[in-house]
Amino acid sequence: MNKKKIKSALISVYYKDNLEKIIKILHKYGVTIYSTGGTYDFIKNIGEVRSVESLTGYPSILGGRVKTLHPKVFGGILSRRDNSSDREDMAKYEIPEIDLVIVDLYPFSETLDSDASHGEIIEKIDIGGISLIRAAAKNYRDTLIVSSRDQYSSLAELLESKNGSADIEDRIRYAAEAFETTTAYDKNIANYFASLLNREKYTLNISPSNRLRYGENPHQKGVFYGKLDEMFTQLHGREISYNNLLDIDSAIALMGDFTETTYAVIKHNNACGCASDSNPVEAWGKALASDPVSAFGGIIITNSPLDADVAGEINKLFFEIILAPGYSSEALHILKGKKNRIILETKSNKRPKEQFRSVLNGVLVQDVDAVSEDISYLKQTTKKAPSEQEIADLLFANKLAKHSKSNTIVLVKNRQLLASGVGQTSRVDALKQAIEKAKNFGMELSGAVMASDAFFPFPDCVEIASKEGITSVIHPGGSLRDRESVDFCDEAGMSMVITGYRHFKH
């Protein structure tokens, strides 16, 4: 077990939220606390604390750039308690042992994401903090390192359950997390400096890891790297799987482009149902009607809080996961009727600005497709202009096309997905698939609109659409033969708009 009593601690943190509980626990077990700067003032208001300056004999200098970088601090952290030579040095230079280090890092990434100047960004590169973390983690046999405010809760439980002590297993676990923290921090800084030189540099910077039951298939291993609790809170259900996460990602990305009350059903990363309506029950009913067969076992997402009425309707369907920004107590009671059903309460839709994919012996990196067209993007190409209702449907359909696998064609009417053809090797096949699905579920195509994720290289798609009564078309444009599709629409009395933005998704 190698349990060690914590007798002294060095605390210097940027974020002080929930720190007071830790301080009180340390005082309870008689731990001597050293601190500096704003953390010293914070702790002093709670109880006894010694300044780092009184230990080192030096004040904080260079505008706070140098505070803890001193042999009496690092000696106390790095000293090996079972090494006689180290003990002699500690006695000779009157260096106290430090058993616990609680340090976090300046918010470099947060500053980078703000409108901060270059100088402000540079000042958020932590020197002392990261050095303290590495030193304490290196000497994990004798020192416990807490490198993030996210660990305060687990630290409090550890100290209380073990009466102010820590086992070797505890110290190894915290040391591993500390090195993950410093690695991620340094990679962000390296990427920033590379950007100053206009160098294309990519380093994967995601932690922590969550081992999944398996990967895409049972014979494949799977791990998720990241913090799921920043995206949603799991309120009920079994462990989330690899394939669940792929569908959840597709669902959240899609819903991020809608502002009015919308429901969608996701199956294999594509929307098989989607509808917008001010009445949530109506929105859900229309979304389900798009393809009630594919909806079985799917993932449901909405941007509207769930009440008992809509929960009662949704509960009639077998589905694996539901995501919503909130649930009434009655709705939760209804939905929790299935013990394995995963119920997630969505939080932020703040997703990475880049996405990557392993390819061959390397990694492909690209910006996330963040373009979500509104009416200002539309350029009329036909003599006939789309009606107000058609414009609403065109924009709705275009959002769905953006989030569907290429090649895709999406058919919409009255802000309801009638059907889509996805993942086809030709655009004509995608359209034929969509038409067949719509007819199978009794959808009326007359007066519907059509969206395509890429331009029409030939007029064949608009010709087929016209025969089915489709009246308006949206696509990126850009084909050398765009004119042929426009001319056909003019002859058929159809309207067409282009956006100038292709939305391939592979």
Q: Which residues are catalytic?
A: 138, 268
Helix axes 168-196, 128-138, angle to 10 degrees: 140
Which residue's entry shows tokens 């086992």? 167
Which one-letter DSSP state was computed for residue 352?
A: -
End-to-end CA distance of the chain: 51
Phi-psi region of 237 (alpha: psi -120 to 50; beta: other; left: phi over 0): left
Report the alpha-carbon distance of residue 395 to residue 428 in Å, rounded.
21
Contact 283, 256 (CB under 8 A): no
Instruction: Look up residue 162 and give its amino acid.
Output: K
Give SS3 for 216: coil
**Cβ-based burial of 145 (10 A; exposed 0-12, middle 13-18, buried ≥19):** buried
Phi-psi region of 235 (alpha: psi -120 to 50; beta: other; left: phi over 0): alpha
Helix residue spans in 64-114 (DSSP H): 71-78, 84-92, 108-113
